[in-house]
Amino acid sequence: MAATTADGSKVVGGGEKSNVDEESKMITLFSSDGERFEVTQEAAAMSQTIHHMMEDGCVDDEGVHLPNVGSSILAMVIEYCNRHVASPDEKEDIRSFDAGFVNVEHHTLFDIIRAANYLDVKELMDLCCQTVADSIKSKSVEEIRELFGIVNDFTPEEEAEIRKENQWAFE
Amino acid sequence: MPPGGGAGGGEHGCTVPGHPPATGRLGRAEDAPPHPPPPPPPPFPATDVSLEMKKKQKQEDEQEQQPLGSLPEGPLVDILSRVPYKSLCRFKCVSKPWLALCSDPKLRKRCPQTLSGFFFNKSKCGLSFRNLSGKGAPMVDPSLPFLGGKYERVEVEQSCGGLLLCKYWESYKGRNKKKYGYAVCNPATGQWKVLTLIVLPDPVDGVPVIYDDIDDFFLAFDAANPSRFVVFAPLSNSFGEFAQVAIFSSDTRRWTSVENEWGYKNVLIGKPECALLNGTMHFGTHYGTIVTVDMEGKVWREFDMPDDTPDKHNYTSIGQSQGCLYAWQIDNDNDCKLCVWVLQDYATGKWTLKHTANVSEIFGRQLDEDDHSYTLFAIHPDCNMVFITDSENMTLSYDMDNQKVSAISTSRTEFVDGALYVPCFAEWLAEGH
């Protein structure tokens, strides 16, 4: 639910700009590609990084620059935080939201993990890491290499040795 | 940690978060300028500082990208700690950095474990191990190399939660063959604790009594609370009756005794007819009942075995699967019928008949020609699968959900005493802790 305000910035998640009501006070986040996102303090606080900055009184009117998070991923992370802050008690709804949220291509999931790691959003990390773990547990060694973009640095003899030691795991 | 104090400084600093560090916990960029005191603060943050950090970030990213792949180490460790141990061992082949990661003992302790195979005793060589798949080199070395060849022979009596109750002989020849001891072993961590002789004050006059002819020990170990294990030893007379139960606890390293509150007449079937469920040890008795006691020896209960067993002359075996107590019996004398019950409602003690099957059929034999004596020696802790042996040359797994049969062993093996093994890499607290 993004609306565009007069100055062209996106307002994500609604909420009025009010300096009186602390809870709906907005905070501005800047993605690596310079896009502006307005988020409620509550949602932003799901990021421990941002939370600590807010607690220390370090976030001023300018906002927070996130040079490591691109706009499309930041939008997704904000969507997650908004959803979890909005109705934390509706377990069924949250569960189905989460399931839909992680139903993305693996490279997007990895991007979200990187962002969640950087922003220190524990719940999102747990969700994504568990999703990845569940999807890779049955994968072969070759599939893992492909998925993570890893070059095999074993010699054929070395790899055969390790395979032999752990033969039971390949059955 | 940078020292606190200074205007606007302190632990968190007033800086843009820096690169994600290797451990996955966010650090703070140490080279960004500290927030100067008001007034007036500079524009936050300076654009060129932001570019600097972007460059540094890219460098770090590339460095990190090479060894472990497209994710930094912190999240990767998080993911790997959630995959089953079997997958972790397979991923050791991915690359050298992954080999290091997957071999890390801390990771091994956290990752979920499941049934990996069975320990059993071979008449020729003693302790042996068979993988669950029935194939390949054993995933755990049954010669227990960490013992350094101290004992000539080791056998398994019972397993619980990743620990084994073992019988050992220093010398296995001639007259020395009669001299054996008992120990608790963790094959995954190499821990080995010999159970000392049971010496307890006589309940009447307090004089120390040595109980050196006790042969029924029952090991209780909960992998969810791995700091200690407990061994129960009913102090039975020759009829199997006991008024006291000796309890060994790994944290006190001593035997104590408690009064048997089940009633004198409850004779236990003996090892390994026991199952640990929710911190409570369950024992089968010869009287069609199950008696239970918690690991502290304080809460004593009793309830009935299923009463619709086809063979009234033989006992029913018990085991634990998916958080419930199971009971089973094979009517070898009549039609080799297998019955499996589950105690779905623990509070009422009401058994539900879960599955019946004909074991001859499972083994692909004709009922009227089949004079084998079958034993269902284990039930899979995580699914509806059971393991049956004909005690001669065939051991199978049988899936109760889809009736699928797989061979575990087709050579002459002694699986009747097969003890299922779910590795546990946590260590019980030993001397000095």
**Which of the 8 DSSP states describes residue A121?**
-
Q: Are strands A36-40 and A10-12 parallel, antiparallel or unpaired?
A: parallel
**Residue A2 near chain B (CB below 8 Å):** no
User: How many pairs of residues across A and B have Cβ atoms under 8 Å apart?
Assistant: 144
CA distance B135 to chain A (A): 7
More confident residue, B21 or B117: B117
Question: Which pLDDT score, from 0 to 100, does residue B431 have?
Answer: 61
- The 10s digit of each residue's pLDDT in B201-250 is 887 888 999 998 888 999 999 988 888 999 999 998 888 888 899 999 99
Q: What is chain A's alpha carbon radius of gyration, rounded to the nearest angstrom?
A: 20
- Can you give the pLDDT at residue B57? 59
Per-residue model confidence (pLDDT) at position B215: 86
Choose from B53, B93, B141 for mutation: most chain A CBs within 10 A.
Answer: B93
Q: Round the average pLDDT of chain B to a whole number and report it.
A: 82
* pLDDT for the residue numbered B39: 52
Distance from CA of A118 to the nearest CA of B (A): 6
Q: Are strands B317-321 and B324-331 parallel, antiparallel or unpaired?
A: antiparallel
pLDDT mean over B157-175: 90
| Beta-carbon-side half-sphere exposure of residue A119 (alpha carbons within 13 Å) | 33
Q: Provide the percentage of residues in chain B whose pLDDT is more than 90.
A: 47
Q: Exposed/middle/buried for A39, CB within 10 Å: 0-12, 13-18, 19+?
A: buried
B250 vs B176, higher pLDDT: B250
Q: Are B332 and B373 in contact (CB under 8 A)?
A: yes
Of the partner residues B43, B50, B136, the one whose CB lies closest to the CB of residue A168? B136
Distance (Å) from the alpha carbon of A135 to chain B's nearest alpha carbon: 9
The pLDDT score that the predictor gives to residue A78 is: 95
Residues of chain B found within 8 Å of residue A33, distances taken between Cβ atoms:
none
How far, in Å, are A112, B82, B266, B403 from residue B377 at the CA level?
Answer: 47, 30, 23, 18
**What pLDDT is attached to residue B291?**
94
ipTM: 0.84
pTM: 0.69
Q: How long, in residues, is chain A?
A: 171
Structure letter (DSSP) for residue A65: E
Neighbours of B59 (CB within 10 A): 11
Q: What is the mean pLDDT of residues B173-191?
A: 88
What tokens appear for B216 in the block?
A: 């029924």
Model confidence pLDDT, tens digit, residues A75-111: 999 999 999 998 878 888 888 999 999 999 999 999 9
User: What confidence tens digit (pLDDT) does each residue in B89-101 have?
Assistant: 999 999 999 999 9
Q: How far is CA A145 from CA A108, A149, B80, B92, B96, in A?
A: 17, 6, 14, 11, 12
Give the mean pLDDT of B78-84.
91
A 68-127 near B (Cβ less than 8 A): 68, 107, 110, 113-114, 117-120, 125
CA distances from A29 to A38, A55, A67 (A): 6, 16, 10
Under DSSP, the state recorded for A38 is E
Task: Indicate if the pLDDT at residue B147 is higher than 50.
Answer: yes
Taken as a whole, chain B contains a residue count of: 433
Q: Which two tokens stand for residue B211?
A: 């109980």
Within 10 angstroms of residue B317's Cβ, the number of other Cβ atoms is: 21
User: What's the alpha-carbon Rg for chain B, to the nearest Å?
Assistant: 28
Contact B95 A153 (CB under 8 A): yes
More confident residue, A171 or B50: A171
Minimum distance, in Å, between the CA of residue B379 and any CA atom of chain A: 20
| Residue of A67, A133, A145 with shortest CB distance to B50 | A67
B34 neighbourhood in chain A, CB within 8 Å: none
Which one is predicted more confidently, B259 or A168? B259
Distance from CA of A111 to the nearest CA of B (A): 9
For the cut 90, the answer to whether the pLDDT of residue A47 exceeds it is yes
Instruction: Supply the pLDDT for residue B1.
Output: 38
Q: Is the pLDDT of residue A7 over 70?
A: no
Name the residue facing B94 among A119, A137, A150 (closest C-beta): A150
